[in-house]
């Protein structure tokens, strides 16, 4: 089976669900506490593996109790972890998340070991990258690592699927070297420096990226659907109608499943539908698939 190499972050998310968020300096008690696996890289690797992909994951974890649990979870999902590096003297990546009664939140991320996924680690992982039929990236690892991977992918003619999230500054000249860019409305608005609140605005913003040389731009629009834009066509699909209970990581599930469908040769429309089905299932589950609760025993 063709290999997908996902390169990106692994985190542990520590989540407090409460009736309302605290004011500055205030203590609010009575919260419910959850720990879940996160990190966009890890989420996408797990999603791709659960969607049937042959997945290798390249990532850095720290020297803490979570690191072994994370690696074990990857293995349990059938993911090749030969190049999940363990960094001594560093914590694993952590996100502290507070969620209020209306779903409003505070989120703070400490990248920890993720910041140590440098170009030299990518060089070490070349044996597995050489086997890749597709590379999947996000933006929770250092910028210089991403440019290095894009250079390698281009040299070796390996298609790159990049979920440009969270959106941050990046050298635009690299965009012409990306095959598939996946963005939500906020991210495409950020990149195009345009306000994006509906499909027409999203399409106009996506066009500016096609003009910069991206081959395929895929825009996800939550419950509204998704579309792919190329120089020659636009293909649009609707989202499945489900009762959403937790939309965190919907985009990650979408990207992981999308990579699997594309690598297996699906048409763009079918790949979008497959990705959308996987993401729809994920939003119906709290903290699961791929954000599964940690075993707290």
Residue labelled with tokens 């910069």? 212
Is 39 annotated as belonging to a binding site? yes
> What are the residues whose beta carbons fall under 8 Å from the beta carbon of 212, sequence distance 6 or more?
172, 175, 176
Does residue 154 sit in helix, strand or coil? helix
Radius of gyration of the CA atoms of the chain, in A: 18
Residues with a catalytic annotation lie at: 252
Binding segment for ligand ADP (CB under 6 A), chosen from 27-35, 146-154, 197-205, 246-254, is 246-254
Is 77 annotated as belonging to a binding site? no
Binding segment for ligand ADP (CB under 6 A), chosen from 12-20, 75-83, 227-235, 250-258, is 250-258
Residue 257 interacts with ligand ADP (CB under 6 A)? no
Shorter beta-carbon distance to ligand ADP: residue 150 or 278: 278
The 8-class DSSP code of residue 174 comes to G
Residue 279 interacts with ligand ADP (CB under 6 A)? yes
Which 202-241 residues touch ligand ADP, going by CB under 6 A? 220-223, 226, 239-240
| Least Cβ distance, residue 50 to ligand ADP (angstroms) | 15
Contacts of 267-270 with CB under 8 Å at 24 or more apart are 268/216, 268/228, 268/235, 269/235, 269/237
Shorter beta-carbon distance to ligand ADP: residue 125 or 280: 280
Residue 138 interacts with ligand ADP (CB under 6 A)? no
Angstrom CA distances, 230 to 47, 75, 218, 272, 273, stand at 25, 36, 9, 14, 17
Q: Which of 53, 251, 256, 290 binds ligand ADP (CB under 6 A)?
A: 251
Is 140 annotated as belonging to a binding site? yes
Which 148-167 residues touch ligand ADP, going by CB under 6 A? 165
Which 59-98 residues touch ligand ADP, going by CB under 6 A? none
DSSP letter for each residue of 204-220? HHHHHHHHTT-SEEEEE
Q: Which of 208, 242, 266, 288 binds ligand ADP (CB under 6 A)?
A: 242
**How many whole angstroms separate alpha carbon 45 and alpha carbon 202?**
27
C-alpha of 40 from chain center: 4
Name which of 7, 1, 77, 10 is nearest 255 in CA terms: 7
Is 112 annotated as belonging to a binding site? no
| Least Cβ distance, residue 176 to ligand ADP (angstroms) | 23
In the chain, how many H helices and how many E strands?
A: 9, 13
> Omega into 290 within 30° of 0, i.e. cis?
yes
| Least Cβ distance, residue 185 to ligand ADP (angstroms) | 7
Residue 250 interacts with ligand ADP (CB under 6 A)? yes
CB-based closest residue to ligand ADP: 251
Is 64 annotated as belonging to a binding site? no
Residue positions forming the annotated binding site for K(+) = 246, 248, 282, 285, 287
Residue positions forming the annotated binding site for substrate = 11-13, 39-43, 140, 252
Residue positions forming the annotated binding site for ATP = 184, 220-225, 251-252
């Amino acid at each position: 089976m063709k290999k997908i190499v996902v390169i990106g972050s692994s985190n542990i998310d520590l989540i407090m669900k409460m009736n309302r968020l605290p004011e500055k300096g205030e203590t609010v008690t009575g919260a419910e506490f959850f720990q879940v696996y996160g990190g966009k890289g890890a989420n996408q690797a797990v999603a791709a593996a659960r969607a049937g992909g042959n997945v290798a994951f390249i990532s850095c974890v720290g020297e803490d109790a979570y690191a072994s649990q994370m690696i074990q979870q990857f293995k349990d999902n059938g993911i090749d972890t030969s190049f999940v590096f363990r960094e001594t003297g560093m914590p694993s990546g952590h996100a502290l998340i507070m969620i209020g009664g209306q779903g409003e939140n505070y989120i703070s991320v400490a990248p920890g070991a993720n910041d140590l996924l440098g170009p030299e680690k990518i060089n070490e992982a070349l044996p597995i990258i050489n086997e890749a039929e597709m590379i999947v990236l996000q933006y929770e690892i250092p910028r210089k690592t991403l440019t290095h991977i894009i250079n390698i992918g281009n040299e070796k003619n390996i298609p790159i699927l990049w979920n440009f999230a969270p959106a941050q500054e990046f050298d635009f000249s690299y965009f012409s070297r990306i095959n598939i860019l996946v963005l939500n409305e906020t991210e495409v608005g950020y990149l195009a420096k345009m306000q994006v609140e509906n499909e027409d605005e999203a399409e106009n913003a996506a066009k500016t990226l096609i003009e910069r040389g991206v081959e395929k731009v895929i825009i996800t629009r939550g419950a509204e659907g998704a579309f792919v834009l190329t120089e020659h066509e636009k293909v649009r699909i609707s989202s499945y109608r489900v009762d959403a209970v937790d939309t965190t990581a919907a985009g990650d599930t979408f990207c992981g499943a999308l990579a699997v469908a594309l690598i297996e040769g699906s048409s763009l429309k079918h790949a979008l539908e497959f990705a959308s089905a996987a993401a729809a299932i994920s939003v119906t589950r709290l903290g699961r698939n791929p954000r599964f609760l940690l075993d707290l025993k």
